[in-house]
Structure 1
């Protein structure tokens, strides 16, 4: 997977902008990153255990902490700070953002949940 050459937090718009060495660039909303956190709290501990996270429309990223040369830890305004976003995860989330977001919205609707708490 490509490596990011620039990671920029746009606090006012609640967006993490990630530019990769292959020329791809993604604008990833904090809410999208939060509800797709790679943490066990969200993903579970095995296949089919992903938790549907709702009420995060207003979440923001408070801090970006580098993790070696392969990832960042995102600290969110709701206190969540256990997901380590590897370059592969960020690239996958960016590449599949439209389908991931549509699936998330459909899952919220099916569960009777909302983006805002």
Structure 2
């Protein structure tokens, strides 16, 4: 029995909005997402945010007004985003960006729930 393996979606357009608070990503499967800088920052795939296990994952407050300073390619598989809070270590692979766009509402609500549970908010810097 053979299995058909499909290639993961790849972006055909990546554009930073003029206000630098939204990254627009259009994929070759027709999906198009407007990802807020705040969501990108607080879900950054960096070890600084994600840790090396689920128990090390950080919830970061005070990122409501974070902006994106740079969007740099990483090979043929990802981008590195530079944020105006000087966070630059997350490498956002195409699959991660597609999943983030697809699940943005749920992920953002989970972030809000984490903030509330840890006594943090979107406007006051803090990490827990």
| 1:114 partnered with 2:113 | no
Larger-gyration structure (1/2): 2
Residue 73 of structure 1 corresponds to which residue in structure 2? Answer: 80
* Alignment coverage as a number of residue pairs: 117
Q: Once the 2 structures are TM-superposed, how far is the Cα of residue 13 of structure 1 from its aligned partner?
A: 5.8
Structure 2: distance between partners of 1:11 and 1:78:
18
Q: CA deviation at 1:112?
A: 1.2
How far the C-alpha of 1:82 sits from its partner, in A, is 0.1
**Partner Cα distance (2:76, 2:106) in 1:** 28
- TM-score, scaled relative to structure 2: 0.89
- Look up the match of 2:36: 29
Contact 2:20/2:68 (8 A) holds in 1:
no
Deviation at 1:89, TM superposition (A): 0.7
Superposed structure 1 runs of 4+ greater than 6 Å apart: none
Does the alignment pair 1:84 with 2:91?
Answer: yes
**TM-score, length-normalised on structure 1?**
0.97
Partner residue in 2 for 1:101? 108
- Secondary structure of the equivalent of 1:106? helix
| Secondary structure at 1:99 match in 2 | helix
Alignment gaps of 5+ in structure 1: none
